[in-house]
Structure 1
């Protein structure tokens, strides 16, 4: 394997540079999207805010672990979050030490954004990632402690011809490296010349390059990024998830990290990728909130309608849209499956919803007849 000069071996490390002219358009787009998202969220009531935040935090935790190849018990994590957020859930799953630790870590990073980030707090976060009762310690992993003396490498390929994607700075001097990062993280928050969104991108890259722990570095880096973004907005409530967008482009994430960690101190390509991913996160979250608000307004308009539990269930699925909903409308047979009713009952329920103006019939007929949420406003103030 050819010799590689890692970024932490560059003279001047970690004095990162970037090209403002390249990043300026993306940065403006992120700032505008951030403002629009917070504006839309401001129109929601407290209950809607809490449920949107619960969904965003849940997605953040689940996808951050999925980036590392770990599948979590979604119901357990949701219940752990819901209890902490004070959100009533119709059905609650049994929680675990794992879900409790992950929920505590995420809320500490986002709700306590004004608290100092010091080594002690980082070590507590690491302990929350690996609670002993969760049965995760299958190897000699140092928990709540910096990594050991062994070389820290990310390697793939054959044992006799390995490909080293990344090598972290040596253990000697790691305490000083982490201390320098933490000092910068505190001081940069008061640096008016550094945009807060760029600061989040720099923090992400710097910390993941330090790789200070035996395991969990990626998840802690993304939690730290959430902290930096919460500080940028001065808002504890989270409406979007960076981890989900990173998972959508996981190969791109690792590719740009590897290229940047093998390059000089100019990290413009990394920051370009980071801002582009942040922009997609913000835009997706705005669409999600719009759907939640539309759903809330729909039920407010139709609050006087007498509906069966099955009708309410199906209407909510239609209103959810996306993966949970029916983008092309719902047929009688699909209604039957979702509501778990007979064919005759499904037909009767749909006819009733049509008469009340809650759904409308799409083009087509016979067995292929499909229905969607009414857009005409008929019966909206019944």
Structure 2
């Protein structure tokens, strides 16, 4: 028995005595982000959003088993935000960046059948060759989530609707609820919207990514801002096993019947899901504050070194060191060589010059020697 087969579907419930304390904690973590953004210049705000958008794009793809090239994603972001000129391009990741920006920039527009289908088209600019799929329209057959090898597959979930018209009816109910005015917390509505959409699973593919976009859009509406303040997918990706286990436990009703049941026994209760979602949102907000501090550190670095001369290789590596936490323990000469795409001798000269200029600080000896960037 699946959750959508319950007679009261989709009248979800939750225990306020459990949810409200977590909601208050979540709001305390998220609310300061908008205030922090107001302290930034336009250029700094865009740098902050670029970092968040980079994390969101990479993590959202990774959850679905896809790996995007980081430099290609970053190129798309800086080009679209107008804060630089990227020279690497990937059509798939570029389309994802465009979709993520569009969804947040147009929060005044209601999400309906046309909008969600357009988003799906944006998500798949090129049709898959190996597995045919319908792009820009709802699925027209049964959708099952399965795992395991052929002959021993396990069905984790079966979505409602076996034909296009049935799926459209499910989506109509969803949009009526999503676009209706409500006194309910938008944070809770975002959690429900995420779960409800991915349970309907209206498309052949891309449902997880679209469900997170819808949730983040709900949250952007709550803050009355069209700036992406945090990466929800990054939190989801780092707790991916919990995500799938909790999702399946709510979607699956182990009652051994295909009929609508009379006593749901609280199977439409989303308390655990909502609390977990709010926990992920709180984690995302905490990470976003760290990105805020990184933007401020980067600004201070370039202001302090505005008269310092760097060659193209050095500037590229410094930007990478400031942009990510991948080199929190320092960068080796070998890694510098790889990032700068240069020779051992040139890497050694570049690093020596940066140490002399007090941009890099050497730590360790011999093969274990690393170089940390002097951020302030």
TM-score of the superposed pair, with normalisation by structure 1: 0.82
| Separation in 2, partners of 1:72, 1:335 | 22
Tell me the number of residue pairs that the alignment of Structure 1 and Structure 2 aligns.
358
Equivalence for 1:278:
281
Of structures 1 and 2, the one scoring higher in RCO (CA 8 A, sep 6+) is 2
Q: Which residue of structure 2 lines up, in the alignment, with residue 258 of structure 1?
A: 248
Name the residue aligned to 1:328.
Answer: 329
Check the 8 A contact 1:335/1:346 in 2, yes or no.
Answer: no
List gaps (5 residues or longer) in structure 1. Answer: 378-382
Shift in alpha-carbon separation, 1:216–1:314, aligned structure 2, 3 A: closer
Instruction: Indicate if the aligned counterparts of 1:57 and 1:238 stay in contact, CA closer than 8 A.
Output: yes
Pick from 294, 299, 313 the counterpart of residue 296 of structure 1.
299
Q: Which runs of 5+ in 2 are unaligned?
A: 254-266
Structure 1 residue 373 displacement after superposition:
4.7
- How far apart are the structure 2 equivalents of 1:258 and 1:367? 48
Task: Give 3-state SS (helix, strand or coil) of 2:357's partner.
Answer: helix
Q: Which residue in 1 is equivalent to 2:264?
A: none
Question: Is 1:267 aligned to 2:270, yes or no?
Answer: yes
TM-score normalised by length of structure 2: 0.84
Structure 2 residue 169 is the aligned partner of structure 1 residue 179: no
Match of 2:156 among 165, 187, 206: 165
Partner of 1:79: 75
1:208 and 2:208 equivalent? no
| Residue 49 of structure 2 corresponds to residue 48 of structure 1 | no
Give the corresponding residue for 1:32. Answer: 28
Shift in Å, 1:128: 1.7
CA contact (8 A) 1:332 1:346 kept: no
CA distance in 2, matches of 1:310, 1:81: 21
Q: Do 1:361 and 1:370's aligned partners in 2 also have CA atoms closer than 8 Å?
A: yes
Higher mean displacement: 257-266 or 171-180: 171-180
2:260 equivalent in structure 1: none
Deviation at 1:213, TM superposition (A): 1.6
SS of match in other structure, 2:155: strand
Secondary structure of 1:155's partner? strand
Deviation string 1:27-54 (CA, Å, 9 cap, x unpaired) is: 2222111122223222222112212222
Could you tell me how far 1:215 is from its partner in structure 2?
A: 2.0
Q: Indicate yes or no: 2:348 matched with 1:353.
A: no
- Is the Cα–Cα contact under 8 Å of residues 40 and 290 in structure 1 kept in the other structure? no
Instruction: Tell which deviates more after alignment, 48-57 or 67-76.
Output: 67-76
| Matching residue of 1:380 | none
More divergent stretch after superposition (328-337 vs 249-258): 328-337
Alignment RMSD (CA, Å): 2.9
Q: Distance in 2 between matches of 1:58 and 1:270?
A: 26
